[in-house]
Amino acid sequence: MTDMSPSERRLQKELMSLIKDPPPGVSVDAEQAEQNLLQWTIHMEGALGTLYEGEQFQLQFKFSNKYPFDSPEVTFVGSNIPIHPHVYSNGHICLSILTDDWSPALSVQSVCLSIVSMLSSCKDKQRPPDNTFYVKTCSKNPKKTKWWYHGKFSRVFFYWLCWSLFFR
């Protein structure tokens, strides 16, 4: 057996934990993740008593060799991307722990729980007000977006727009 990098060891440990004891409504495509530790598909079900109850979603996690010091790239994929004020129609998620507030103490499981919480707290299904413009002009990698966060789950797109116009 070949030696695993620290990143691969951490991912293997997290994968085994997620397989053995997943949060409610969350599961990992274990076969796919075992074949490629750097890209996982997570299946998520909308929580009971929420606007998304019974809906099925897929998240794609992409990890760099610097994980857990570098946050994963996390996007919704598939045919059912949730309609939510912090989820763009291309699957990009505006959530501070995916960029600025990332910490190596976080995990795939904690990211999943944060996304479930974000969806569960939604009061009105709607896209972000800047969805059309953002989707037309954004990078394929949401981590390259320079979000400006305020409040628990919100952002101001203006910062991204200024950054993209002047620094790309």
Closest by CA position to 19, among listed 47, 43, 45:
43
Q: What angle do CA 128, 122, 153 make, to 5 degrees?
A: 65
**Is the domain 6-167 a CATH 3.10.110.10 member?**
yes
The residues annotated as belonging to the active site are 94
Convert the pLDDT of each residue in 152-168 to its tens digit: 444 444 444 444 444 44
Lowest mean pLDDT among 72-76, 135-139, 159-163: 159-163
pLDDT attached to residue 147: 66
Q: What angle do CA 44, 45, 48 make, to 5 degrees?
A: 145
pLDDT attached to residue 142: 81
pTM summary value: 0.85
